[in-house]
Amino acid sequence: MEEKKTGMPLLGEDFPELSVQTTHGPMNIPGDLKGSWFVLFSHPADYTPVCTTEFVAFQKRMEEFDRLNCKLIGLSVDQVFSHIKWVEWIKEKLDVEITYPIIAGNDTVAGKLGMMHPAKGSNTVRAVFVGDPEGKVRLILYYPQEVGRNMDEILRAVHALQVSDANKVAMPAGWPNNELIKDRVIVPPATDEKTAKERLEQFDNYDWWFCHKKLE
């Protein structure tokens, strides 16, 4: 009998199939998101200050995520009625309407995604999963409960993944504001001597293994 896999998914693997209840009704993930990029992010608990700042920050960037054809989905192990009341509180007190769904998770859901870290308590950690339109896991981030996330970095990472896929290139640190090559992208290194020599003529470079170019 095949052993059932548990724990967090790995980069490049299929995102685990989840049938969940959300503030927008039942969802099947990643099936309902096919054709779109998505960011699924967990938070430790509703009605907590760091999580509240994160939810507002994600909402403030909804238009930017939309331009990248990227859906947002929140998650914690709170029940759905708690999510609904918290969203109402954010609207009433902070004048921000949360328009993305929030999953009412459980230990099974959190376990499939590796979100329960016993040494950090009984709540879910601050996990971020970026999935592509085929439902593959492309990026994973984990933050402790005491440190809020940088949503601009998550936006940048989604954009960088899309540019990398479309152009078959690699992205430098901090792209598009890299200290060495600015907004240029990195040409994949040559894997044979002939191509290595050709690269020196074809592209700007520091060496044959470090070639870069402007996006076309």
The catalytic residue positions are 51
Contacts of 184 (CB under 8 A, 6+ apart): 172, 178, 204, 212, 213, 214, 215
Helices (H) then strands (E): counts for the chain: 6, 10
Tell me if 38 sits within 8 A of 131, measured CB to CB. Answer: yes
Coil, helix or strand at residue 118: helix
First to last CA, the chain: 51
3-state secondary structure of 31: helix
> Pairing state of beta strands 102-104 and 126-131?
unpaired
Question: How far is it, in rounded angstroms, from Cα 160 to Cα 70?
Answer: 13
Q: Cβ distance 58 to 41 under 8 Å?
A: yes
Cα(11)–Cα(189) distance, rounded to whole angstroms?
A: 21
36 in Cβ contact with 71 (< 8 Å): yes
